[in-house]
Amino acid sequence: MDMIGHPASVLILALLGGGFAFAATMIAMAMVDQINEKLPAEKRLPPLGWGIGITKQHRKFYPDSKLAIPFYLCVSCNYICFIAAFWIWAAARHAGR
């Protein structure tokens, strides 16, 4: 069960967290594409580096859109996975002393 002194669950949680981060990025990029369809060329957002307020901007142009829900769900699951992985890793390291 141990992988180089750390539980396999740490690796699994880290991979899950990375998957959730990737999914959140893809959703955010879809929101940026939709926002850019409504903006003039000189005010368009870059594909990356759009910042935290992307969901507010998206809701302004698309008030009935549900893209913010899976985005926030993926971001939350990402944080939970990485916090849990760190917690398990720290507990395993502490138990090994």
Q: What is the pLDDT of residues 21-67, one digit of tens each?
A: 999 999 999 999 999 999 998 989 887 777 778 899 999 999 999 99
- Amino acid present at 96: G
Q: What is the length of the chain?
A: 97
The pLDDT, as a whole number, for residue 14 is: 93
Is the distance from CB of 67 to CB of 56 less than 8 angstroms? no
At a CB cut-off of 8 Å and minimum separation 6, what does 85 contact? 9, 10, 13, 14, 17
User: Between 1 and 92, whose confidence is greater?
Assistant: 92
Domain holding 64, by residue range, is 2-95
Domain count, the chain: 1
The pLDDT, as a whole number, for residue 12 is: 93
Strand partners, 3: 6
Q: What is the pTM of this model?
A: 0.83
At a CB cut-off of 8 Å and minimum separation 6, what does 31 contact? 54, 55, 57, 58, 67, 68, 71
Residue 67 DSSP symbol = T
